[in-house]
């Protein structure tokens, strides 16, 4: 075996650095190999009920979609959805399906899988592209139904075998967050941008990731081992012995270098001339607090609280939230814990279980024409204030166990801060009346990630207790370039002159109001960006815990004066490519 | 009453999703049991999924079998729909 397999090198978009070596796992809802799920006689009726439920939910989905398309006046889509609705009432998907469950005594997923395979086979014999396209409608309908059968049917990211190379059409944040670097060696996807949330998570976890690779083609190839080089954007399938040896060596060197950096991470993030830059950690999963405490972080600069339910598929109760915040605050022993309230929307679509109380509110979220400009983050929370109130109450109750600070995402107008402050004061009053102890001062911060708030930062700096610059979204909104779209990634420059000017402006406003400003975003972990950000006056960064050693290492190589000169020089450049060249020449050391 | 008639698929793209949906819709108000036979396979004409399963391309010969009180009407309507290429002409 293996003799006829040939080494093939594929080029993609490098997303997360590092070398991953392992075996392919195709990750998707439908095409995964479904085992012969046999059920007992007693379970048959239960299985049928489960299927009917999923089918009813799917119908509701499509009806909702159809209604939305009706408003937008797209008759083709309305017609296609109409056909999908009829397919869901088709005897083959209703009575015949139930009959098959009874006769074969199999799980519905298995029955489904065989049905789809049958269709695929039939149409692939025809060698007719148009006919093969037809299967898509069936696959689409099936996927919708199967999705409603989850989480029972799907292999979860958290249950991957060791040395898995995940091959997927695309990754969503809630799945990526479940991956463990102990089991998942690398990600390879067809779609995905450098700053998508899935990409950020992959980098934070140190899992190599390459996008823009033809996954469908890979499915047709006989695959043994795979090497993923996330630094170069290369995927090598069926590598020869020499290639394997070479990459194993590179991987070992990487690990050693990281270990070396890590051994110095307890040191301060200090410039050569003694200016201290405080480095905080970003956090998605509260279970990673231990790792964070070992990383030399000055505290949690950004806890992305939405991940509490993105992976659990339901909202945590006030009591559950309280316990989590309390535990986190305690384990930080007085160091700050900045909790960003639920940032929902955009590419962070909540995938709540349909029976969840709040599921209906998200019904139309995914259908927005322009989700990045839609009802997300603080806009969503102010629209459904009970979700925010629950979270704020849990935070206030936990505030006496440490230094809890509250951060508002995607603020685009001053009144949003005022509204939340009013809510906090009201909750504080209610709690204190009940005799609950609440910290005297709970700082309320404002994310600067929307152009309007960057332009109004002087007013926001007076209103808020601290500012937090989120460069990922700020760049996307200032450049009007989708961060997930590979065709606009040329425009998505974190080092665009406009961004540098805005950062300088924000720092100046924060300084004149004597409010702290922290920069969190991918640029904060980029060795080429760090000196210029320091030069622009940033004194606090928040990055993924695993990047802290590198960030500190970079800071320790610079003098504050040099950094300021570098920034001044950079502000002279008026186009992105020129600025990029200048930075590359000046920051290499 | 049983009515049997042979028809030819005339529209360029064959019996794909849209014509299949049209057939099912057309039969909805009628009471007869209607089946299509193509090559050696006979399927229920009231099922989009089954019609798709036939994978019948242009120029395929389909045998329509209708059984019931309005069988004649059902076949007549179907023949017209096939003739008019399901409005795709």
Domains parsed from chain B with CATH numbers: 2-87 (3.30.1340.10)
Of A82, A87, A128, the CB nearest to B49: A87
Cα separation, B88 vs A67, in Å, equals 26
Residue A293: phi, psi to the nearest 5?
Answer: -65, -25
Q: What DSSP assignment string belongs to A189-225?
A: ESS--TTSHHHHHHHHHT--EEES--HHHHHTS----
Q: How confident is the model at residue A1 (pLDDT cuts 50, 70, 90)?
A: very low
Q: Report ipTM (2 d.p.).
A: 0.81
Mean pLDDT of A486-514: 86
Q: How far is CA A73 from the centre of its chain?
A: 33
* Per-residue CA distances from A534 to A180, A265, A297, A515, A538 (Å): 33, 19, 18, 17, 5
Task: Report which of A418, A481, A415, A412 is spatially closest to residue A448, judged by C-alpha positions.
Answer: A412
Q: Is the pLDDT of residue A288 over 50?
A: yes
Chain B residues touching A92 at Cβ < 8 A: 47, 49-50
Average pLDDT value for residue range A99-114: 86
Which residues in A have their CB inside 8 Å of a CB on B? 79, 82-83, 86-87, 90-93, 118-119, 122-123, 126, 128, 130-131, 134, 137-138
Highest mean pLDDT among A54-68, A149-163, A179-193, A481-495: A179-193
Span A308-349, pLDDT tens digits = 877 666 788 899 999 999 999 999 999 999 999 999 876 666
Q: What digits encode the pLDDT tens for the residues A128-145?
A: 555 555 666 777 787 778
Q: Which of B5, B7, B10, B16 is catalytic?
A: B16
Residue A153 binned pLDDT confidence (cut-offs 50, 70, 90)? very low
**Minimal CA–CA distance to A313: which of A285, A342, A356, A352?**
A352
Beta bridge partners of residue A405, listed in sequence order: A338
Q: What is the C-alpha separation between B74 and B89, in angstroms, rounded?
A: 22
Residues 58-87 of B with CB under 8 A from A: none
pLDDT at A381 over 70: yes
Phi, psi of A380 (to 5 degrees): -65, -45
**CB neighbours of residue A403 within 10 Å:** 19
Q: What is the mean pLDDT of chain A?
A: 85
> For the residues A181-207, what does the mean pLDDT come to?
84
Residue contact B46–A130, C-beta within 8 A: no
Q: Is the CB of A138 less than 8 angstroms away from the CB of B13? A: no
> Closest Cα of chain A to B39: distance in Å?
14
Out of A79, A86, A128, name the one closest to residue B48 (CB): A86
Note the pLDDT of residue A203: 86
User: Residues near A154 by Cβ (< 8 Å), separated by ≥ 6?
Assistant: A29, A32
Q: Is B64 annotated as catalytic? A: no
pLDDT of residue A31: 41
- What's the mean pLDDT in A48-64? 85
pTM summary value: 0.62
In tens digits, chain B (89 residues) has pLDDT values of 899 999 999 988 788 888 888 899 899 999 999 999 998 899 999 998 889 888 888 899 999 999 999 999 999 999 999 999 887 76
Distance of CA A509 to the CA centre of its chain: 30
Instruction: At A361, give phi and psi (nearest 5°).
Output: -70, -25
CA distances from A393 to A184, A396, A406, A463 (A): 37, 5, 12, 21
CA gap A530, A519 in Å, rounded: 10
Instruction: Give per-residue pLDDT as tens, A242-266.
Output: 998 999 899 988 888 888 888 888 8
Q: Is the pLDDT of residue A426 over 60?
A: yes
Q: Is the pLDDT assigned to residue A589 strictly greater than 80? A: no
Residue B7 forms contact with A (CB below 8 Å) = no
Report whether the peptide linkage leading into residue A469 is cis, meaning its omega lies within 30 degrees of zero. no
What is the residue extent of each domain of chain A?
8-27+155-257, 43-149, 264-587
Residue/partner pairs of A420-426 with CB below 8 Å, 24 or more apart: A420/A378, A420/A382, A420/A388, A420/A392, A420/A444, A423/A385, A423/A388, A423/A389, A423/A392, A424/A392, A424/A396
Cβ-count burial of A77 within 10 angstroms (0-12 exposed, 13-18 middle, 19+ buried)? middle
Point out the least confidently predicted range of A371-385, A389-403, A477-491, A513-527.
A477-491
Angle between helices A414-433 and A385-398 (to 10 degrees): 60
CATH class of A264-587: alpha beta
| CA distance, residue A368 to nearest chain B CA (Å) | 27
Spell out which residues of chain A touch residue B55, defining contact as CB-CB under 8 Å: 122-123, 126, 131
Residues in chain A: 589
Question: Using the beta-carbon criterion (under 8 Å), do B55 and A130 form an inter-chain contact?
Answer: no
DSSP assignments along A363-431, one per residue: TTTTT-SSGGGSS-THHHHHHSHHHHHHHHHHHHHHGGGSEEEEEETT--SHHHHHHHHHHHHHHHHHH
Q: Is B43 on the interface with A (CB under 8 A)?
A: no
Per the CB < 8 A criterion, the answer to whether B9 and B82 are in contact is yes
- pLDDT at A363 > cutoff 60: no
The single residue of A397, A446, A457, A520 carrying the catalytic annotation is A520
Percent of chain A scored above 90 by pLDDT? 41
Q: For the residues of A286-348, what is the DSSP string, one character each?
A: GGGHHHHHHTT-SSEEEEETTHHHHTTSSPPPHHHHHHHHHHHHHHTTTSEEEEEP---BTTB
Q: Choose the closest CB to B53 out of A82, A86, A122.
A: A122
In this structure, are residues A380 and A362 in contact, taking their beta carbons and an 8 Å threshold? no
Residue of A92, A118, A119 lying closest to B47 (CB–CB): A92
CB A243 within 8 A of CB A257: no
pLDDT score recorded for residue A263: 82
Architecture label for domain A8-27+155-257? 3-Layer(bba) Sandwich (3.50)
Q: What is the mean pLDDT of residues A209-218?
A: 90
Q: Under CATH, which architecture does the A43-149 domain have?
A: Orthogonal Bundle (1.10)
pLDDT tens string A64-83: 777 776 766 566 667 777 88
How many residue pairs from chains A and B have C-beta atoms closer than 8 A?
Answer: 47
């Amino acid at each position: 075996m293996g003799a006829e397999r040939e080494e093939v090198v594929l080029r993609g978009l490098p997303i997360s650095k590092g070398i991953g070596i392992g075996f392919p796992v195709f990750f998707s809802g439908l095409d995964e190999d479904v085992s012969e799920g046999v059920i007992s006689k007693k379970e048959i009726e239960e299985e049928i009920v489960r299927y009917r439920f999923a089918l009813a939910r799917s119908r509701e989905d499509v009806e909702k979609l159809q209604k939305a398309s009706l408003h937008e006046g797209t008759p083709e889509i309305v017609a296609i959805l109409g056909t999908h609705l009829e397919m869901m009432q088709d005897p083959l998907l209703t009575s015949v399906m139930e009959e098959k469950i009874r006769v074969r005594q199999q799980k519905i997923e298995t029955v489904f899988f065989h049905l789809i395979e049958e269709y695929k086979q039939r149409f692939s014999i025809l060698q007719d592209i148009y006919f093969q396209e037809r299967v898509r409608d069936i696959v689409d309908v099936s996927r919708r139904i199967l999705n409603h059968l989850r989480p029972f049917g799907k292999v979860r990211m958290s249950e991957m075998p060791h040395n898995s190379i995940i091959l997927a059409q695309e990754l969503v944040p809630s799945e990526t967050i479940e991956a463990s670097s102990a089991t998942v060696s690398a990600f390879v996807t067809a779609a995905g941008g450098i700053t998508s949330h899935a990409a950020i998570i992959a980098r934070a976890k140190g899992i190599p990731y390459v996008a823009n690779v033809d996954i469908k083609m890979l499915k047709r190839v006989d695959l043994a081992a795979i090497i993923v080089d996330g630094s170069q954007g290369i995927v090598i399938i069926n590598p020869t012995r020499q290639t394997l040896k070479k990459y194993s060596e590179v991987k070992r060197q990487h690990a050693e270098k990281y270990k070396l950096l890590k051994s110095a991470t307890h040191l301060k993030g200090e410039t050569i001339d003694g200016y201290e830059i405080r480095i905080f950690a970003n956090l998605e999963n509260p279970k990673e607090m231990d790792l964070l405490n070992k990383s030399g972080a000055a505290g949690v600069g950004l806890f992305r609280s939405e991940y509490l339910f993105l992976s659990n598929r339901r909202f945590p109760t006030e009591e559950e939230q309280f316990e989590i915040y309390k535990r986190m605050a305690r384990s930080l022993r007085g160091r700050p814990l900045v909790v960003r309230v639920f940032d929902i929307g955009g590419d962070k679509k909540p995938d709540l279980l349909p029976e969840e109380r709040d599921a209906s509110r998200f019904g139309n979220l995914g259908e927005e024409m322009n989700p990045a400009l839609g009802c997300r983050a603080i806009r969503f929370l102010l629209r459904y204030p009970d979700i925010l109130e629950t979270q704020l109450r849990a935070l206030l109750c936990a505030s006496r166990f440490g230094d809890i600070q509250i951060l508002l995402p995607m603020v685009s107008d001053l009144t949003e801060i005022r509204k939340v402050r009013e809510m906090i004061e009201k909750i504080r009053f209610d709690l204190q009346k009940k005799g609950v102890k609440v910290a005297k001062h709970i700082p309320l911060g404002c994310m600067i990630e929307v152009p309007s708030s960057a332009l109004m930062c002087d007013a926001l700096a007076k209103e808020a207790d601290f500012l937090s610059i989120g460069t990922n979204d700020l760049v996307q909104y200032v450049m009007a370039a989708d961060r997930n779209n590979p065709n606009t990634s040329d425009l998505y420059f974190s080092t665009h002159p406009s961004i540098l000017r805005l950062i300088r402006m924000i720092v100046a406003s924060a300084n004149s109001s004597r409010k702290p400003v922290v920069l969190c975003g991918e640029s904060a972990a980029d060795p080429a960006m760090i000196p210029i950000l320091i030069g622009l006056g940033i004194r606090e960064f928040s990055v993924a815990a695993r990047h802290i050693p590198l960030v500190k290492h970079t800071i320790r190589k610079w003098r504050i004066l040099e950094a300021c000169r570098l920034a001044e020089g950079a502000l002279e450049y008026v186009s992105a490519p020129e600025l990029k060249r200048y930075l590359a020449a000046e920051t290499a050391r | 009453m049983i009515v049997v008639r042979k028809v030819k698929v005339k529209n360029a793209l064959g019996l794909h999703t849209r014509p299949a949906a049209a057939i099912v819709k057309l039969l909805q108000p009628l009471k007869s049991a209607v089946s299509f036979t193509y090559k050696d396979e006979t399927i229920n004409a009231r099922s989009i999924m089954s019609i798709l399963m036939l994978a019948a391309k242009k120029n395929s010969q389909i045998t329509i079998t209708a059984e019931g009180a309005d069988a004649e009407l059902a076949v007549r309507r179907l023949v017209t729909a096939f003739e008019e290429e399901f409005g795709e002409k």
